[in-house]
Structure 1
């Protein structure tokens, strides 16, 4: 999968094995994992496994989360983009979810919104998707605000048995 999108401040590209240091910085922070229902990483091996899983998604579905690179400094900031879900969630299966995860030092600057808008545009205009979904923990107000800001509609709260947590479900239809 070759992928490259530029926004005003961000480069979105496929995640590579060389992103391991940035991925570890991202996923080893307990604050980043606060609403994810899992523990932060303690080894780079966990990041390597995560990167390989994303690369597998590219191969299987021609889509997966993308690395967010700061346009001016070329720093790895986190990831954003679409993911194809094959497991059932909230009565849906085989759907596209928009998501983002950002290193804490980049929080509060609108990068999630900027990258998510680019992902929606890609999903609707390049992939010709009809619907894109969003999922967030009920307590993750920042993520809730991003999803609303980029045009997703809040649908309902639900309890996910696999994650053992209360989540919020959103969607947006291609206009």
Structure 2
């Protein structure tokens, strides 16, 4: 049974570990999930190592999220350090296709934003999305993020819309 450090009504947030390669394969091994994340494919093991490293170094990661009470992996949602600005993070969420359209992205992201501002004392949280991923745009706007402009994102080779949310918003 997994331990959850954060819960919402339907979601439990855990931490990626070395034992989670099967769950990581379920998520990042699905082309439906990664098509907006990178153009050259995602190396699952490297992605899992990055998330584990971010937790060790920065105490944040794109945490694995699970459906309560069944414990089935929904995807991941969390934070990572953003550039050189102190107390700033980037929000991200990747959900397995079977969980799309059921409100999990918004529920998870709202919990992470609240956690970022309260527990981590973040000043700002940034987010972005693939220009064709209009569902992610909808979630960010609904969460209160403000559009800043488009930024080049090397993994896809495209300019992605970029957003910001301040702690006082």
For 1:35, the equivalent position in structure 2 comes to: 36
TM-score by length of 2: 0.88
For 1:64, the equivalent position in structure 2 comes to: 61
Q: Aligned equivalents of 1:124 and 1:12: distance in 2?
A: 17
Gaps of 5+ in 1: 87-92
For 1:153, the equivalent position in structure 2 comes to: 146
For 1:97, the equivalent position in structure 2 comes to: 90
Contact 1:83 1:96 (C-alpha < 8 Å) held by counterparts: yes
TM-score by length of 1: 0.85
Q: Which digits, 9 at most, give the CA deviation of each residue in 1:65-124, with x for residues without a partner?
A: 1110111210111100111134xxxxxx44410010011111110111000001001110
For 1:15, the equivalent position in structure 2 comes to: 16
Against the structure 1 CA distance between its residues 162 and 106, is the aligned structure 2 distance closer, same or farther, given a 3 Å change threshold?
Answer: closer
Secondary structure of the corresponding residue to residue 8 of structure 1: coil
- Across the two proteins, how many residue pairs are aligned to each other? 164
Give yes or no for the alignment of 1:132 onto 2:132.
Answer: no
How far off its partner does 1:37 sit?
2.4
For 2:27, the equivalent position in structure 1 comes to: 26
Secondary structure of the corresponding residue to residue 100 of structure 1: strand
Secondary structure of the corresponding residue to residue 159 of structure 1: strand
Q: Which digits, 9 at most, give the CA deviation of each residue in 1:35-75, with x for residues without a partner?
A: 1123445xxxx433322221111111111111101112101
Structure 1 vs Structure 2 CA RMSD: 1.9
Contact 1:19 1:76 (C-alpha < 8 Å) held by counterparts: no
Secondary structure of the corresponding residue to residue 67 of structure 1: strand
Q: Aligned equivalents of 1:100 and 1:106: distance in 2?
A: 12
